[in-house]
Amino acid sequence: MIWRELWAQAEAALGSRAEARRIVERASGYDGAELALHLEEHVPARAVPYAEGMVARRAAGEPLQYVVGRWGFRGLDLLVDRRVLIPRPETETVVEAALGELRGRLGGIAPVVVDLGTGSGAIALAVAQEVAGARVWGTDVSSAAVAVARANLAGLGCAGAQRVRLAVGRWYDALPPELQGHVDLIVSNPPYVADREPLPAEVAEWEPPEALFSGPTGFEAVGEIVAGAASWLARPGALVVEIAPHQAAAASDMARRAGFAAVEVRADLLGRPRVLVARV
């Protein structure tokens, strides 16, 4: 069998040429344009069951990102599996807002950044890669998630990797106390779904519950992060948090009550209010 045939078989099974292609890329090791150059090549015997296994997992409903075990986020090629949330496009907007604060108003040398609930490490590693000299802490309550972030950190292979520290624990509890009052930017994509809120099966059945659900109202984690931020931030400092669109008013009110002077909620790529930006 040649790669072209394997691709056609996978497409027939999944009803998606694009998804079949990702699986063939994974099985062959040929990415992007490179695959086209090798389509007539024979598939090594052990790659056939590997690819068929991935097709079967996808056909059973497992998200493609977990099946192929990696996903792109702002130029990073991240390892992802069921221990972590699959990085979403709206979180790229969160990183954009964080970078805006770091490059603009906070524009100091070697800023200290904290990513609360780092999961795969997506936000922490993107900031470390894109902001020269930034010293970044990534924390998560899930030690399994931190293990994935650690693998991604090891695979980053750039100077930025040496400036990232990872820690296990609940929100601010994971940070060393001496960091209090010295953090230039806190960024987070916390869980913000209410416990009883329905989610698509592909999300609810596969992604880690602690990455999705926050508690009875869905606002618990956002509330805790906003309420605790001011005491960890330097002056000037900023807080950037991903929220659900319906939480925009509550999150803004809470930030003002917590002592933030300038508070706004920015839209994601689809125009939904998704990113709380609060400054002290």
Ligand X SMILES: C[S@@+](CC[C@H](N)C(=O)[O-])C[C@H]1O[C@@H](n2cnc3c(N)ncnc32)[C@H](O)[C@@H]1O
Q: With respect to ligand X, which residue has the nearer C-beta, 118 or 252? A: 118
Q: With respect to ligand X, which residue has the nearer C-beta, 93 or 189? A: 189
Q: With respect to ligand X, which residue has the nearer C-beta, 53 or 69? A: 69
Q: What is the closest distance, in whole angstroms, from the C-beta atom of residue 27 to ligand X in the complex?
A: 26
Q: What is the closest distance, in whole angstroms, from the C-beta atom of residue 125 to ligand X in the complex?
A: 10
Q: What is the closest distance, in whole angstroms, from the C-beta atom of residue 262 to ligand X in the complex?
A: 24
Q: What is the closest distance, in whole angstroms, from the C-beta atom of residue 90 to ligand X in the complex?
A: 9
Q: Which residues bind ligand X (CB under 6 A)?
A: 84-85, 87, 91, 117-120, 122-123, 139-142, 145, 170-171, 189-191, 210-211, 221
Q: With respect to ligand X, which residue has the nearer C-beta, 120 or 252? A: 120
Q: What is the closest distance, in whole angstroms, from the C-beta atom of residue 29 to ligand X in the complex?
A: 26
Q: With respect to ligand X, which residue has the nearer C-beta, 142 or 252? A: 142
Calpha distance 109→251 (Å, rounded): 30
